[in-house]
Chain A
Amino acid sequence: MTTAAYPPTSKKIANAVMLSITGICAFLVVAVLLFILGYLVVNGAKSLNWAFFTKLPAPVGEIGGGLANAIVGSGKMLLIAAALGVPVGLLGGVHLAEFSGSAFASIVRYTTDLLNGVPSIVMGIFVYTLVVVPMHHFSTLAGGIALGIMMIPIALRSTEEFLRGVPQALREGAMSLGASKTQTILTVIIPAALPGIITGIMLNLARVAGETAPLLFTAFSNQYWSPGFDQPSASLPVVIFNYAISPYEDWHRQAWAGGFVLLTAVLLINIVARLILSRRTSLPR
């Protein structure tokens, strides 16, 4: 008695075809990234010059100038964002990982994930009603607060994850030496998780650095320097947007240069942070 060979040829063909299709899908997605990078490098690098980093925008119609005020504005907003988002997220993460019961933790975690999913434009409106309306004008501060609020959910979740990745034995070791819970957290657990927490914060900053929508009606924009923190301020993403939709050729050039600088910064931080994370196999991702 002979048995038919299994799998039959039709199945083998289906196998080869479907497997190839999935491979094409994967390379298609990666190709899109390379395509975007290629365009930005080609168009951005040729539009980039020293004036871009050092000069104010030229008046409408004039060629030249730079986006120095937008770069500084973005930096100031990120500073405020980090000052607001990192402590709240960090402490909240410590609470979930070290203090709270599991029911409370899952409620907060769920809320955090939902808050993280709120569209950034809605966040912009929220901060507009929360900060801009009482202050009666747009400001660097409002922009920074918008970005800071957007940082909290991810800061909290990543801190919690990294703290949970610290081996239980370290906690028990510290406790057995008579350390209080606070001492254990401050001197043993956080130091052990610190590299992860810091890379998490770097990724978080890189993410909000590219946010445009929350800044449109919080920081607004500004043709000039924005002294202090209570004036409307330019920021790199908003200026890229404004310039890209403008009718001026030279502004398009600046938009490409701005896009190139922004993308390079964001991707470099991402690459460094992810390499550091993948190296530390003892910690969760």
Chain B
Amino acid sequence: MSFAERLRKGDEAAYLVTLISALTIVLITVLLAQHLWSNSVLARQKFGFHFLTSSTWDPLSGNFGALPFVYGTLLTSFISLLIAVPVGIGAAIFLSELAPRGISNALTFLVELLAAVPSVIFGLIGIFVLVPMLNVVIPPIAAHLSFLPIFGGSFFGVSYLTAGLVLSIMIVPFIVSISREVLMAVPTAQREAMMALGATKWDVTWRSVVPYARRGIIGSIFLALARALGETMAVTMVIGNVPEIHASLLSPGYTIAAVIANEFAEASEDLYLHALIEMALVLFVVTMIVNASARLLMLTAGIREIRE
């Protein structure tokens, strides 16, 4: 078939149109990076790397340091992983290895619905349900543990711990549904071989199935971490929004995403705006790296499709 004939039938045109659409993805990603870079130039020039190590956040005097926000972001994400990883992997093991297929599918369906709940709804529950609840539960416990610096100080309901808890609820569905898929993809022979030796169900799962699925599970944790780092609304609503650094998990704090959400619309000075956009740039680069590693892990584990 000649080129003219194919063109008449529209193949070349279709090829071009669809190619442009596919390239739009790449274009958007490049534009995104470029916009964040060029719109943070003032802050980058003035503060350099000092931006990330300074803990002064004073819009009035034009002094901007991101450390309290970086600290809050890392701490809340760490707390959320601490809770969500064991629970999520436990649930994934139950759903893939133990539960009858019907029950497993029904529960997975519900877990996926949990993943679909908008972040502002988690914030709503956080403010009006979780905070009052923790205000009752935490102080008596903290009174016994106050010799530990991480449980020191007074507790007002909004804190790193509250934000970490809300985040853990938000990321656990991703760990469960991805890890479940990864576990279910482990070849049956892997299980049968060990079962034939008389091992218990748990031994088979823990020593033969989980190690086989290790890379995929770690990948799911990375993906969840990227979510936790960038999560905005729910965290903004329960972390207290104070740009300080505290060792105590019960203190209010701030995160990168939360400070952008709260202050961006009211930032009138160019330097202020650029400082906030530089924080978005930091968040962008970090989540890119975490996501890229997660996807690479998944690819090397032979998982091409990740349903989110």
Contacts and interface: CB of A to CB of B under 8 A. Distances in A.
A155 to B, nearest CB: 10
A237 B201 contact: no
Q: Chain B binding site: helix, strand, loop or mixed by DSSP?
A: helix
Q: For this complex, into which size category does the number of interface residues on chain B fall? A: 35 or more
Chain A interface bracket (under 10, 10 to 19, 20 to 34, 35 or more): 35 or more
Contacts of B22: 91-92, 95-96, 100, 104, 108, 156
A126 B117 contact: no
Given A182-B14, A213-B257, A271-B113, A125 B264 contact: yes
B91 A7 contact: no
B21 interface: yes
A15 B203 contact: yes
Contacts of B203: 7, 11, 15
Interface string B5-25: 010011101110111111111
Nearest to B110: A30
B10 A180 contact: yes
A40 B88 CA distance: 24
B87 A29 contact: yes
Contacts of B264: 125, 128, 216-217
Contacts of A12: 200
Contacts of A103: none
B39 A117 contact: no
A49 interface: no
Interface in A174-198: 180-183, 185
B173 interface: yes
Interface of A: 6-7, 11-12, 14-15, 18-19, 21-30, 32-33, 36, 39-40, 43, 87-92, 94-96, 98-100, 104, 107-108, 110-123, 125-126, 128-130, 149, 152-153, 156, 161, 180-183, 185, 203, 206-207, 209-213, 216-217, 220, 237, 240-241, 244-245, 252, 255-256, 259, 262-263, 266-267, 270-271, 274, 284-285
12 contacts: A7-B203, A12-B200, A22-B90, A22-B98, A23-B94, A24-B90, A27-B107, A96-B22, A118-B288, A125-B264, A211-B118, A267-B116
